[in-house]
Structure 1
Amino acid sequence: MFRRLLLWFGCWAMAGCSPQAARRAALERELLRLTDSVQAQVGIAAVLGEGDTLTINNKPGYPMASVFKFHQALALLDSLDRARLTPDFPLSVRSSDLLPDTWSPLRDARPEGGYSLSVAELLAYSIAHSDNNVCDLLFRFLGGPETVGRYIHGLGLSDTAVAADEETMHRDPATQYANTTSPLDAVRLLERFRRGELLRPSSTDLLMHTMLSTATGPDKLKGLLPAGTPVAHKTGSGLRDAQGTVAADNDIGIIFLPDGRTCSIAVLITDSAEADSTNAHTIALISKNIYNYLASEETIK
């Protein structure tokens, strides 16, 4: 409560300085209200402009769930770039790769195994459809989660850890807390990707297009934005324990505004006692408020 009072006092003081400061203070108050309105820990980070980053409840330790498939995709494409291979490079899919009792659109479509798909095709399953079996197949090609963890740490993102694959997390739900990040680390990674600092241009374009095609979580970051707003994003949904608490309900992505600006945003929810629909609606409300703030900023100018 004391932290809230200090923040509100600071916002009130800023509000007396300029209309822009008042708008920013109002946005932060509304985001705090939203995070306090649910039985969960909610972390937010967003890049509102060059050098202007907003954070609420930023700290390490938020379980990523399938958000880490974005991190894996970056490490995978970086490895191909370094080896001078293209995303057309084929990988074998065996029947033993297609485990039951996990989310896997590829297994549902082609359960027989014994075929090859290109890295680009596999990324479409892993990113756009969040296929758990494909994710683990890509981990095996890369050398395991530790390879992705080393890649991320090499980028200087000290709040992020990747240590468990999907099979491990489904076998032992406690390991959901092995793959973690902070909201700020997530948007820093999104920004470096967006600016083309991590991959070759063709690889950046491929992953951006794949994320724009994401089919999961239409009610999260995109849920309350104007129809047709492009959002390149990766969702994550954790498992619930015996008490009904879900480890993670997340969405991170890049929102494209009509005037050509972008907003990298991460909303991470952990230890939530709320229904999935409530978590998704909370993410959508946060995204809507940040979008409206940026849209009205252009109108004021």
Structure 2
Amino acid sequence: MIKIFTIVALAISVIGCNGTSRNTEVLRTRVENIVSSKKAIVGVSIIDSKGKDTISINGNRRFPMQSVFKFHIALAVLSEIDKGKLSIDQKIEISKDQLLPEDFWSPLRDDNPDGGSFTIGQLIQYSVSHSDNTACDILIRLIGTPKTVEEYIKKSGINEIQITFDEKEMQAKWENMFQNWTTPIAATETLKLFYENKNNLLSKSSYDFFWKVNKETSTGKNRIKGQLPAETIVAHKTGWSGTNKETGITAAVNNIGIVFLPNGEYFIISVFVTDSKEDFDTNEKIIADIAKATYDFYTSTGN
């Protein structure tokens, strides 16, 4: 426990436009207290809507993304739509043999066991909002390969990311997931970059659609959203690796997103949990506790 606490404490940095402030120290301490006793490596990156506060824990460490990469895939597909190479209403035929098998999470397959015809917009909704693996891999093939997605994100200005495998390949071997990684800071910067959209990376229609499907995310109800007021709007994407039966270690319980506050402001948060010997509920609670501490910090009258 002491070793984990020391590593976490040394990895925490707090940077604000006026340097480390008393108020930011309060939030930093709260987050540190949440993660310090856990048998896991936790990565956190938080930015407020004004860019005033940046808090990171293991912010430059590479974490396996798992399904978080579906966020990036959707962005790459929408970019191709904006170029006129694809259309959001374009129909894609998916045959029964293209559906991933039952050991893969796929609401699309469960809803359509014989396959069917789907618009690209529907595939993005399945992939992002419901973390569907069949839709994910179909979308990747529409634009090229996993590296096509990586290259698009890097050209947009985010360098700390690697996408090597699609879902089927990633889940073929435990070690494959570690080839699809990003850092907490890069994840938060990606959220910020595409939400602010200052460089018009997405057209207005693609932008509106993308953030709508992120707000409709149905997975991870006990993570970022877990302890927030029920009416809180969160645009987010989750990821999960399952637990290695041989080692008892969970490699990824993740959630990245934007939390919209009652006063019209927001904060951007990315939390990655890896190398965890905690149970699933505890891993999710780590994320929920950090999100709640951050929400309370930005909604308290003292800040």
| TM-score, scaled relative to structure 2 | 0.91
- Conserved? CA contact 1:48–1:54, under 8 Å: no
Return the match for 1:228 from 226, 231, 234: 231
- CA change 1:5–1:221 in 2 (3 A) is closer
Post-superposition Cα deviations, 1:209-230, rounded to whole Å, max 9, x if no partner, equal 1111111000000000111100
CA distance in 2, matches of 1:6, 1:266: 16
- Conserved? CA contact 1:173–1:239, under 8 Å: no
Gaps of 5+ in 2: 1-5
Post-superposition Cα deviations, 1:41-90, rounded to whole Å, max 9, x if no partner, equal 10111112423322112123100010000000000100110126431122
Q: Secondary structure at the match of 1:272?
A: coil
Match of 1:279 in 2: 283
- Conserved? CA contact 1:60–1:182, under 8 Å: yes
CA distance in 2, matches of 1:229, 1:86: 32
Post-superposition Cα deviations, 1:15-66, rounded to whole Å, max 9, x if no partner, equal xx99x92221121011112121211110111112423322112123100010
Structure 1 stretches (4+) deviating beyond 6 angstroms? 5-8
Q: Secondary structure at the match of 1:244?
A: coil
1:149-298 maps to which residues of 2 (within 5 A)? 149-196=150-197, 197-241=200-244, 242-296=246-300
| TM-score, scaled relative to structure 1 | 0.91
**Shift in Å, 1:127:** 0.6
1:112-127 maps to which residues of 2 (within 5 A)? 112-113=114-115, 115-127=116-128
Q: Secondary structure at the match of 1:91?
A: strand
**Shift in Å, 1:5:** 7.6
CA distance in 2, matches of 1:200, 1:83: 11
CA distance in 2, matches of 1:110, 1:55: 42
Match of 2:34 in 1: 34
- Conserved? CA contact 2:256–2:269, under 8 Å: yes
- CA change 1:3–1:257 in 2 (3 A) is closer
Post-superposition Cα deviations, 1:178-225, rounded to whole Å, max 9, x if no partner, equal 110111100111011111242111111111111111110000000001
**Shift in Å, 1:271:** 1.1
CA distance in 2, matches of 1:2, 1:36: 9
Range 239-248 or range 213-222, more displaced: 239-248
Identify the structure with the greater helix proportion: 1
Counterpart residue identity of residue 25, structure 2 = A
Q: Is 2:45 the partner of 1:45? A: yes
CA distance in 2, matches of 1:6, 1:132: 34
- CA change 1:2–1:239 in 2 (3 A) is closer
CA distance in 1, matches of 2:34, 2:69: 25
Aligned residues: 292
Q: Secondary structure at the match of 2:165?
A: coil
CA distance in 2, matches of 1:2, 1:184: 18
- CA change 1:106–1:50 in 2 (3 A) is same
- CA change 1:133–1:279 in 2 (3 A) is same
- Percent identity reads 38
- Conserved? CA contact 2:188–2:268, under 8 Å: yes
Gaps of 5+ in 1: none
Match of 2:56 in 1: 55
CA distance in 1, matches of 2:12, 2:294: 18
- Conserved? CA contact 1:60–1:159, under 8 Å: no
